[in-house]
Chain A
Amino acid sequence: METPQTHSETAPARKLPMWAVVLAFALLLGFLALIAVGLRRTMSGPIVVGDPVPEINMTTFDGQAISSADLAGKVIVLNFWASWCKPCEQEARELEEAFQFYKENDKVVFLGLAYVDTEPKSRGYLEQFGITYPNGPDLRTKVSQMFRIRGVPETYIIGSDGTLKFVKIGPFTSTQEIISAVDSFIE
């Protein structure tokens, strides 16, 4: 008697070529590395008091290029503002008065950066409040991202040693408050 024939034969499994496997793993690793770099950048916190402040570059509305590297040894008062920001108006005149107070003192520099603002409105704001210290746009929001500002106004005082000394979230309430803060860092 003939026994039924069993059919256990299957088509041989085709394997991927080695180069394809290596390429796939290389792509995967590259992609993971990119995610890691992005995450590291995202997770790195803001500059806190005591941290060295990276170099700040800005160009004023008048076209003057300013670099914090050229201001080494001086106290820098860096104010973020915007023309659409109502609380910024509360401290605008006070900041100008403080600037005038230190104008003859070559150890203190005031800088203003307009955050996500349009140039015509920024210029109008500066004119409205009679602000004369160097101001410019925060181009590509680089500096505000560096400090991870949460809004405007925010003011950062950088010491003569290049480290962050003081952070003010929200508007200063008086000229004296600004002067007191700056005075404590003048060496």
Chain B
Amino acid sequence: MTKYSAARFALLFVVLAGILLSPVGVFAQVPTPSDDDVNRVAKQLYCPVCENIPLDVCPTQACQEWRDLIRLKLSEGWSDEQIRQYFAQQYGDRVLSEPPRSGLNWLVYVLPPVIILAGAVLVARVLQSMRKPVLPAAKVDVPLAEDDLKRVEEELRKVD
């Protein structure tokens, strides 16, 4: 083998190795989002045009365009949360099915349990105050009146 052909062989080896080890296959393909994928995100959103109808079941063209946009974002590899954030930034927090947990919105999450807890405490206290007073042990052993005692003895005799 001449020096020239050895160099050619080495070059060919390097090129082949480069092709085989190239990172072409490294990039993961994002699968085409299915309708279920789109609806999974869409059901967390509400279109302001047709209020109170979740996006996944809203029949208007505006909602269809929003679903198309969700599909586009999913195909670009966006996460559900990223898409939700995008829609909130574009159209306002009112399009979200759940208000974001920030600022005064925290009241929505904090107040109901606090009110329920306070109500439970109130009910417990009222029930406690309505309970019959418990007699002290010493006062339970009260002697019966004479008439009552006679009546009890008569009743017992009848039973015998």
Contact = CB atoms under 8 A, between A and B. Distances in A.
Interface of A: 1-5, 7, 9-11, 13-14, 24, 27, 31, 34, 82-84, 116-118, 120-121, 137, 139-142, 145
Instruction: Describe A's contact surface by its main secondary structure.
Output: loop
Interface of B: 47-49, 60-62, 64-66, 68-69, 72, 88-94, 104, 107, 111, 114, 118, 125, 129, 133-135, 139, 142-146
Contact of A84 (B62, B72, B125, B142): B62
Contacts of A34: 104, 107
Nearest to B94: A141
B139 A7 contact: yes
A2 B145 contact: yes
Query: Closest 4 A-B residue pairs measured CB to CB?
Result: A140-B92, A84-B61, A118-B69, A84-B62
B145 A1 contact: yes
Q: Which of B62, B111, B139, B142 is most buried by chain A, counting CB atoms within 10 A of its CB?
A: B62
Given A1-B146, A83-B65, A7 B135 contact: yes
21 contacts: A2-B145, A3-B145, A4-B145, A7-B133, A7-B135, A9-B133, A11-B133, A13-B129, A116-B48, A116-B49, A118-B66, A118-B68, A120-B69, A137-B90, A139-B90, A140-B88, A140-B89, A141-B48, A141-B91, A141-B94, A142-B92
Contacts of A117: 62, 65
B52 to A, nearest CB: 15
Contacts of B135: 7
B90 A5 contact: no
Nearest to A2: B143
B69 A5 contact: no
A140 B91 contact: yes
